[in-house]
Amino acid sequence: MTEPLLCDLSVPGRIGMRYPEPDVPLAELPVLLRQDLPLPELSEVDVVRHFTHLSKLNYNIDQGMYPLGSCTMKYNPKINEDTARLPGFALSHPLQPIETIQGNLLLMYELQKWLGEIGGFAGMTLQPAAGAQGELTGVLIIRAYFKSRGETKRTKILIPDSAHGTNPATSAMSGMQVVELKSDERGNVNLEALKSHCDETLAGLMLTNPNTLGLFDENVIEVCRLVHEAGGLVYGDGANMNALLGIVRPGDLGIDVMHYNLHKTFSTPHGGGGPGSGPVGVAAHLVDFLPYPVVDIIEEGDEDMPPLYGFVQPKQSIGRVKSFHGQFGMMVRAYTYIRMLGPEGLRRVAEHAVLNANYLMHLLKDYYHLAYDRPCMHEFVVEGQWDDAPEIHALDISKRMMDYNLHPPTNYFPLIVHEALMIEPTETESKQTLDKFVEVMREIAREAHETPEVLKSAPHITPVGRLDEVKAAKELVLCCGVESIAD
Amino acid sequence: MFIPHTQEDREEMLRTIGISNLDDLFQDVPAPHRFPDLNLPPALTEMEVLQEMQSIAVSNESMEDMICFLGAGAYHHYVPSVVDAIIRRGEFLTAYTPYQPELSQGTLQAIFDYQSLITALTDMDVSNASHYDGSTAVAEAVAMAHANFRGKRNRVVVSPALHPHYRQNLRTYNQGSEIEIVGDEDLSSLSKGPEALEDLIDLNTALVIVQYPDFFGRVYDYTRLADKVHAAGALLAVSVNPIALGLFTPPGKFGADIVTGEGQPLGIPLSFGGPYLGILATRMEYVRKMAGRLVGETVDNRGQRAYVLTLTAREQHIRREKATSNICTNQGLMALAATVYMSTLGKHGLRQVSELCYHKAHYAARSIGSLPGFSLWSDQPFFNEFVVKCPGPVDEINMYLLSEGILGGYNLGNDYPELANHMLIAVTEMNSRDDIDMLADVLAEVSND
Ligand SMILES: Cc1ncc(COP(=O)(O)O)c(C=O)c1O
């Protein structure tokens, strides 16, 4: 049974919300008055039922394991939702005088410090809205750095072929030239290819480490050294920081600038697509280029007086990347999370994320071909295809997993692995859950060989079956009440 | 707590992998840098962390403690209880981006509902699934227009009455591009309105950007500007406050090609500036240049109506450096909040909120404008915000207001030096007549001093 759309549920005359009558004399209504406001008419009950029905059509972490590689779908602690809604936070305006928002500023100041400590960076901005915007911030910082040194020829950004699509898209948006770097046969950055691009036009390298194959680059120190020797900077895509908490600080390895994803590593919920939060850490030579404003202590405290927190403007700032101060509600959640884990807890997160991934990899590698057969970090990639079952694709395996009440891994990414299935269990899944996952994956591998049709026709138990994506793109019905443009 | 492993589980798993302890998992990490001591405060329990967070939160002054007349792009509106009840559901809150449509119809259909409501509100053909906020949505409008002319038109004309943060953001986004931003630094045109932009529009102009109501709260009919823009072959982008569209003619009616906006007033708490919601809508002919995700209707293999992410070949995960934008994660949950808000208020409720804001703001403007030493800066029609010239520095007046429990308006001198001593005052349905009278009374004391 499909749930109707809001516009189909509308009944003329229904009211969902009443407001008090005006308590002031009425002003004359404007000339530019709107004639028609075609919004639905629903009661509150209609609204709650509609969205409750819709919610039941969603898979989610509260329900079960969500092993999407590169997405770090860990459990989102409930306390975070309560702390973010404390009225002092949720009901404060971004433009209040700083004297009235010392709590917010203290929280941001501490979070800047903690993230800097975790990643090994001297300076931090919390402003970027998500990972991709953190990348934009970072690449613009690199650009501004070279501009300040008069090295305007440095416009080339090297991006490994295993990188996420946001890396090249960001570099292009920043006005840089994108050059793809091949990976070597162990999944590391290919040093020879890197050397061949190390010239006076090199601005930098965008390195995801561990990379999207789940592998820690064995030559990371050498990679950073080569880029630096050529006068370039190394950008770190910190999407995979969950593997490194308390294990190693990217800044110590030579990364100059890196974004974090609070919506991955630091447990803020994904919300069906966002909001995220993508703070950026920088080494000392880049702090002057951070977006403004940055939170700092503007008057030192003493025994009787706490310090006064405020906003400062970095000297050669790239500018503002977002209105106001970033995704503050996500910062409150991440602060709560870090505060509850402490340094040992953070290290335990990384250890168990990596333990879980290696455990799964070990139990699956006789059933699925491993893209790279070496110990992994927090995720690993298998091929969703067999020579003796050639008609089966990664997509079929994914759809079949749904029949076992599991969410599939990431499909078809990274692009360098044929029929990729990228599996990231995260630390919040128990051994029992992982064992069950292995059992299902082995069963699907057996089915792929013996009864491939059940994979081809999967999923069978989901609210909807496989969708006609071509029809969606051809007819472009993008809102209700509109006929398809193909008609 | 959040890691379920027992000692036995761990040992068995290590045995299976064939290593003896957890440290062995990290052989690839350069030894000299392995396992740093992190200088972070020690762990707290849930009970303790809640106490700490409460004590930080109460050290702020919030809308629980003050009467709010501050807006300038973020507004204190009533959020019906149903909004949070829905967005807190784990089914929405803890789901990922709907890449597997068979397991994500809830999110997908809710986004489709969102797209439908936004197109109805703005009178556009398509809305994306959300952008980060009002400022980044404007930045994407520039990228859209630039791509629409295949990079051959490089001028963007921006109204000085576009939110200062949005204008700063435009410059940040375009510092590596060939785009030239003009118009917004000519502050002599501040009091003139949109006609001042007309002379700047030439055949190299890709986009003209205005705000509706503008940053100073003024409402202009942009029909004539739209005609001039289109005569030059350029596009018009209008950045809106969605609540105003409950009362005022939608931008689609006067010829906007792209509508952006800050969706925060639609049921999203102030939360010190985020997470908010970037609205981005356009006409069908520009859909392929648009940033961000789109949900389309289709059918499944059982013949049922169903929803799926569509036109993904615009996006970074397919098109990489040729993508329309780098955006990936968006503001999904905030779009859901806005959807629940708009469907709960509906046709009548949204109009009612808009009218309440309008009438109360006009009452406030009349009261304050007639105080000795204070005067209204503009006689242009306005919605829920207006500018008053004050008898002294705004920051000083605001400190006095604060001592009386009032959060005063925005100091325009921060961004517009010639508007020193000018305050931007916002009024919403949250302000009672008593609140407004109190503001006027306290301001009267200021002018008497
Ligand atoms: C490796 C990697 N880089 C960058 C991103 C982009 O981050 P966001 O979606 O927060 O913009 C992602 C997210 O999916 C990712 O997995």
CATH of the domain at B414: 3.90.1150.10
pLDDT recorded at residue A20: 98
Whether B358 maps to a domain, the answer reads: yes
pLDDT band at A47 (very low <50, low <70, confident <90, very high): very high
Residue A67: CB atoms within 10 Å: 27
Whether the bond into A414 is cis, omega within 30 of 0? yes
User: Helix, strand, or coil here: B116?
Assistant: helix
The 10s digit of each residue's pLDDT in A113-141 is 999 999 999 999 999 999 999 999 999 99
Task: Give the DSSP H/E element, type plus range, for residue B196.
Answer: helix B195-198
CB atoms A323 and B135 under 8 Å: yes
DSSP A372: S
CATH value at residue A133: 3.40.640.10
User: Helix, strand, or coil here: B310?
Assistant: coil
Please give the structure tokens belonging to residue A292: 């403004």
**B437 and B321 inside one domain:** no
Note the helical H segments in A207-325.
220-229, 250-253
Which domain covers residue A327, as residue numbers?
79-339
Residue B139 forms beta bridges with which residues? none
Q: To which residue do tokens 């379920």 refer?
A: B4
CA–CA dist A415, A45 (Å, integer): 46
Whether A57 maps to a domain, the answer reads: no
Residues 6+ apart with CB under 8 A from B157: B182, B183, B197, B200, B201, B205, B207, B208, B209
**A258 and A401 inside one domain:** no
**B172 and B240 inside one domain:** yes
Residues 6+ apart with CB under 8 A from B360: A22, A24, B384, B427, B428, B429, B431, B433, B436
User: In chain A, which residues have their Cβ closer than 8 Å to the Cβ of B326?
Assistant: 132-133, 135-136, 166, 169-170, 173
CATH value at residue A394: 3.90.1150.10
User: Helix, strand, or coil here: A100?
Assistant: helix
Residues in chain B, overall count:
449
**A314 and A363 inside one domain:** no
A402 and A408 Cβ atoms separated by less than 8 Å = yes
Taking chain B, what is the end-to-end CA distance rounded to the nearest angstrom?
A: 59
Domain final residue, candidates B320, B341, B362:
B341
**A245 and A390 inside one domain:** no
> CA A447, A449, A450 angle in degrees (round to 5)?
65
A222 and A85 Cβ atoms separated by less than 8 Å = no
Q: Give the residue from A171, A364, A464, A471 with the most B CB atoms within 10 Å of its CB, the best one to mutate.
A: A464
CA–CA dist A327, A152 (Å, integer): 33
Q: What are A101-104's contacts with CB under 8 Å, separation 24+?
A: A101/B60, A101/B61, A101/B272, A102/A306, A102/A308, A102/A309, A102/B59, A102/B60, A103/B56, A103/B57, A103/B58, A103/B59, A103/B60, A104/A328, A104/B60, A104/B272
Whether A155 maps to a domain, the answer reads: yes
CB atoms A91 and B308 under 8 Å: no
CB atoms A323 and B433 under 8 Å: no
Residues 6+ apart with CB under 8 A from A196: none
Whether B268 maps to a domain, the answer reads: yes
Tell me, using a 6 A CB cutoff, whether residue A212 lines ligand 1. yes
Q: Which residue from A190, A185, A134 is spatially nearest to A330, judged by alpha carbons?
A: A134
Whether A368 maps to a domain, the answer reads: yes
B397 and B408 Cβ atoms separated by less than 8 Å = yes
B270 and A93 Cβ atoms separated by less than 8 Å = yes
Whether A299 maps to a domain, the answer reads: yes
pLDDT recorded at residue A309: 98
Percent with pLDDT over 70 in chain A: 99
CATH value at residue B269: 3.40.640.10
Residue B328: closest C-alpha in chain A: A132
Tell me, using a 6 A CB cutoff, whether residue A130 lines ligand 1. yes
Whether B219 maps to a domain, the answer reads: yes
CA–CA dist A392, A447 (Å, integer): 10
Whether B185 maps to a domain, the answer reads: yes
The 10s digit of each residue's pLDDT in A351-372 is 999 999 999 999 999 999 999 9
Please give the structure tokens belonging to residue A173: 């948006």
Residue A482 has pLDDT above 70, yes or no: no
Domain final residue, candidates B308, B341, B374:
B341
Burial class (CB in 10 A: 0-12, 13-18, 19+), A196: exposed
Residue B426 forms beta bridges with which residues? B385
**B417 and B336 inside one domain:** no
CA count, 13 A, side-chain hemisphere, A150: 0
A400 and A447 Cβ atoms separated by less than 8 Å = yes
Q: Give the residue from A56, A71, A92 with the most B CB atoms within 10 Å of its CB, the best one to mutate.
A: A92
Quote the strand ranges of B129-257, DSSP E.
155-158, 180-182, 205-212, 235-240
The 10s digit of each residue's pLDDT in A252-281 is 999 999 999 999 999 999 999 999 999 999
Please give the structure tokens belonging to residue B51: 């106490």
Q: Give the residue from B17, B25, B368 with the most A CB atoms within 10 Å of its CB, the best one to mutate.
A: B25
Alpha-carbon gap: B357 to the closest alpha carbon of chain A (Å):
9
Average pLDDT over residues A471-483: 89
**A235 and A203 inside one domain:** yes
Whether A42 maps to a domain, the answer reads: no
Whether A64 maps to a domain, the answer reads: no
pLDDT recorded at residue B448: 73
pLDDT band at A391 (very low <50, low <70, confident <90, very high): very high
What residue type is B26 in one-letter code?
Answer: F
CA–CA dist A218, A210 (Å, integer): 10
Residue A433 has pLDDT above 60, yes or no: yes
B407 and B68 Cβ atoms separated by less than 8 Å = yes
Residues 6+ apart with CB under 8 A from A487: A475
Task: Give the DSSP H/E element, type plus range, for residue B423.
Answer: strand B422-426
Tell me, using a 6 A CB cutoff, whether residue A206 lines ligand 1. no
- Whether residue B371 lies within 8 A of chain A, CB to CB, comes out as no
**B144 and B255 inside one domain:** yes
**A219 and A141 inside one domain:** yes
- Mutate which of A74, A164, A280 for ligand 1? The one with the most ligand atoms within 8 Å of its CB, which is A164
User: In chain A, which residues have their Cβ closer than 8 Å to the Cβ of B40?
Assistant: 114, 117-118, 338, 342-343, 346
Whether A480 maps to a domain, the answer reads: no
Whether B241 maps to a domain, the answer reads: yes
Using the mean position of ligand 1's atoms as its centre, give its distance from the Cα of residue A269 in Å: 14
Residue A389 forms beta bridges with which residues? A386
**B256 and B400 inside one domain:** no
**A334 and A355 inside one domain:** no
Closest residue to B101, CB basis, from A94, A467, A481: A467
- For ligand 1, atom 8, the nearest C-alpha belongs to A131
| Residues in chain B, pLDDT under 70 | 449
**A260 and A398 inside one domain:** no
Closest residue to A58, CB basis, from B91, B134, B245: B91
Please give the structure tokens belonging to residue A288: 């002057």
User: In chain B, which residues have their Cβ closer than 8 Å to the Cβ of A62?
Assistant: 90-91, 93-94
**B430 and B289 inside one domain:** no
Q: Which residue from A275, A276, A281, A307 is spatially nearest to A294, judged by alpha carbons?
A: A281
**A322 and A373 inside one domain:** no
pLDDT recorded at residue A306: 93
Domain count, chain B: 2
Which domain covers residue B420, as residue numbers?
67-79+347-448
User: In chain B, which residues have their Cβ closer than 8 Å to the Cβ of A248?
Assistant: 26, 29-30, 33-36
Residue B127 forms beta bridges with which residues? B281
- Whether residue B393 lies within 8 A of chain A, CB to CB, comes out as no
Mean pLDDT, chain A, as a whole number? 96
pLDDT band at A487 (very low <50, low <70, confident <90, very high): very low
CA–CA dist A242, A261 (Å, integer): 10
CB atoms A2 and B163 under 8 Å: no
CA distances to A373, A484, B73, B85 from A49, rounded to whole Å, are 49, 28, 32, 12
User: Helix, strand, or coil here: B104?
Assistant: strand
CA–CA dist B217, B384 (Å, integer): 7
**B353 and B318 inside one domain:** no
**B387 and B256 inside one domain:** no
B140 and B292 Cβ atoms separated by less than 8 Å = yes
Domain count, chain A: 2
Whether A34 maps to a domain, the answer reads: no
CA count, 13 A, side-chain hemisphere, B23: 5
**A313 and A216 inside one domain:** yes
A388 and A442 Cβ atoms separated by less than 8 Å = no
CA–CA dist B259, B251 (Å, integer): 7
Q: Give the residue from A145, A324, A428 with the most B CB atoms within 10 Å of its CB, the best one to mutate.
A: A324
Tell me, using a 6 A CB cutoff, whether residue B326 lines ligand 1. no
Please give the structure tokens belonging to residue B331: 């503001």
User: In chain B, which residues have their Cβ closer than 8 Å to the Cβ of A15?
Assistant: 346, 348-349
**A330 and A450 inside one domain:** no
Whether B42 maps to a domain, the answer reads: no
**B108 and B140 inside one domain:** yes
**A396 and A434 inside one domain:** yes
Q: Which residue from A25, A142, A78 is spatially nearest to B2, judged by alpha carbons?
A: A78
pLDDT recorded at residue B317: 87
Average pLDDT over residues A447-461: 97
Whether B1 maps to a domain, the answer reads: no
Tell me, using a 6 A CB cutoff, whether residue A209 lines ligand 1. no
Using the mean position of ligand 1's atoms as its centre, give its distance from the Cα of residue B58 in Å: 34
Whether B362 maps to a domain, the answer reads: yes
CA distances to B57, B86, B320 from B313, rounded to whole Å, are 44, 32, 10
Instruction: Tell me the ipTM for this assembly.
Output: 0.98
Task: Give the DSSP H/E element, type plus range, for residue A87.
Answer: helix A87-90
**A246 and A174 inside one domain:** yes
Residues in chain A, overall count:
487
Atom number in ligand 1 closest to CA A135: 4
User: In chain B, which residues have their Cβ closer than 8 Å to the Cβ of A326?
Assistant: 273-274
**B278 and B317 inside one domain:** yes
CA–CA dist B184, B187 (Å, integer): 7
CB atoms B58 and A48 under 8 Å: no
**B75 and B85 inside one domain:** no
**B206 and B127 inside one domain:** yes
Domain final residue, candidates B315, B341, B367:
B341
pLDDT band at A485 (very low <50, low <70, confident <90, very high): low
Rounded to 10 degrees, the C-alpha dihedral A168/A171/A172/A178 comes to: -60
